[in-house]
Structure 1
């Protein structure tokens, strides 16, 4: 984190007061020095360009998809449905077209690209895949969730827009879903419920996470002080629907929107320290990877070998709009961590103690 602040300082693109503000946020963020940002944002001057953001998304997306296909010994041509989601980068051709081109997928693949849907888009993609798999029985769906930082790294003075620099980090996840009964033997989980709640009709909710330009016409995404209150309201709406469907959960994968989000969930749902551990450790190690963060949290549970057959896992995420989406999965077999599980090499050292505050001294 100190390296990041040093780069921002040396780039000489924002004032010292804004640098100091970001330092104070980072000191209390729960993020560690192991989180990742694109190399283009560590160069002096910062390189914000379409080429850089394309390189960033290709790195995360292609690696995730390639690893998933190899692990499951699948040909790219076996994929029937493709769903990609990235909130802030919507190139032409789309990210889904980029994946089809890279992996030479079939010409009759049913592809969808979701943009502008925020951090809740990963679960939204699960909902879309679930609906499509009911229509196209016996199909295999690939979901790819990521976020792009480069083009939307904010270099202005608006504090509500500087927050995204402090929280968001590189990451992606690729997931397979199937409605082919023959795939059940290889599956880890079955989807029980998806609940989607959207409060965009309310102006305060609609604008609490909002892409805009500041007074100097510099583009960024603002996060207002209303976000925690709005999140609490939409969470209650979501759980009111979900509550009658599922009484208990063994595990929780909370979107790593930030320290305040995780603490609010801990309080509102009366969760234990162990309940929030997967999300807290994910935020600490990887940062807010947006829509993919709930999969990082699930991978943590798998690396810890905590998920047992019959256990129910709740994934819940918030996103711009304002949305709260939740998914309930039931484990259908004993789960061993995958060899490519990103936690595996250092899982024995977790959980770690995450201090409430650290000291960062740029330059």
Structure 2
């Protein structure tokens, strides 16, 4: 041991100095900074309470020291000003009534259901590649590209493709596409109605979103016909809005429930694969083949106060960001024909950068709504220093872990989850639901955030008061967020998509 606190070891290659004494101080410093920030957060959060305690103490002490004659004079003063008291009371009652009548109604998520396809529709990697080869549409280079995408995608061996894609050659007809849509939507709705005991006739608002399959009559009309919904139902069919359309549908249903009293809204989110499989050799259009899989969800919302006790969640915020004014953002997810006239969806190389920009805009709006004041002050202080002093200060990334307990990041692909985990400084446990959903069900488009929420529930992690952040990205380009708060300790619903396999998760995903 040397006098400077290092240890020297001898050897044929010369002396090596091992700095032992620096390791412990560095560790202690990081721990101290962690607890300093934690203490700062609690101090700022409870600052008002800490200030009110001494103020209330002074008022109580002063009141206890008042002379009884002073209290008598105060009572006489109030009697002589009875008119003023009546006027003030009337204003208070009127103001309270106006507030109660005009305040936004609370929107409750009673329950939701995710469709689980039958096991005969599952597809293993070897089967996927064999069928792709047997179609005769793909070159050797395209087949090799698809194999590499599958291996790096984060998908497992139990995802599902529609019946038409299991045939050799595939049979992507309109009838097969309708059959896929009916199986997914009706499967999710049947389970939702069974679990909630809601009669279809009680539904006042219906919103369906599916980007690439928009038949006539519409998907929403198919649901109205199947369940014989009432004639004055407000039904909407959202098309071409990408993987973030699920949050858009929730926002539309929320707005409708603000207008129409004492009713239910059902939101159905899905995507149709049968007629949107790409049979060409353009690599940017082959990626969706490897990632998108069969799936869908049905969500029951209510504005009835009586449903609060049985509801799972309360809708807190919806924040939507649209970057379509920028040409690159507009074309980064684009349905088109290749040089051979084959239709597919092309994904731009700039997709991740554009998604990052959309996310930044979205959280700039969302942050002030959800972050504790301590984080907002730090963010504002960094911004002021950077603007006024022109200093080379890195922008402060707010700690969203202080605002949310659970994160449901759209399972669009491994790269999307990796990027958000890094940029939002999340822990592996925060993105576990997204990674496992991608592994088990693949990219189910706008419904993926509901499979992720179901995963969290199946793991028994959803406690009363927990906040959930659903983040979705979609063509256009859009980034949308929905924030929910758990109203109780939430247990998984019957026939959860994870019911028979949650014990096997999480699994190690090959990178």
Give the TM bin, normalised by the shorter chain.
over 0.9
TM-score computed with the length of structure 2 as normaliser: 0.69
- Aligned-CA RMSD value: 0.6
Aligned with residue 507 of structure 2, among 349, 352, 356: 352
- Would you say 1:255 and 2:379 are equivalent positions? no
- Would you say 1:32 and 2:134 are equivalent positions? no
Aligned with residue 246 of structure 1, among 366, 370, 387: 370
Query: Aligned to 1:154, what secondary structure does the other structure show?
Result: coil
Map 1:33-48 to 2 at 5 A.
33-48=157-172
Q: Name which of structure 1's ranges 183-192 and 236-245 shifts more when overlaid on structure 2.
A: 183-192
Listed one character per residue, the Cα deviations across residues 71-119 of structure 1 (whole Å, up to 9, x for unaligned) are 1111111111000000000000000000000111111111000000000
* Structure 2 runs not aligned, ≥5 long: 1-124, 372-402
- Would you say 1:292 and 2:447 are equivalent positions? yes
* Structure 1 runs not aligned, ≥5 long: 357-363
Name the one with the larger helix percent: 2
Other-structure match for 2:70: none
How many angstroms apart in 2 are the aligned matches of 1:125 and 1:39? Answer: 27
Map 1:70-219 to 2 at 5 A.
70-219=194-343
Other-structure match for 1:360: none
Listed one character per residue, the Cα deviations across residues 274-330 of structure 1 (whole Å, up to 9, x for unaligned) are 000000000000000000000000000000010100000000000000000000000
Shift of 1:48: 1.3
Shift of 1:349: 1.4
How many angstroms apart in 1 are the aligned matches of 2:207 and 2:309? Answer: 23
Shift of 1:17: 1.3
Aligned length: 356
Higher relative contact order (CA 8 A, sep 6+): 1
Query: Aligned to 1:253, what secondary structure does the other structure show?
Result: strand
- Would you say 1:14 and 2:138 are equivalent positions? yes
Structure of larger gyration radius: 2
Shift of 1:185: 1.4
- Would you say 1:339 and 2:463 are equivalent positions? no
TM-score computed with the length of structure 1 as normaliser: 0.97
* Structure 1 runs (4+) greater than 2 angstroms displaced: none
Other-structure match for 1:276: 431
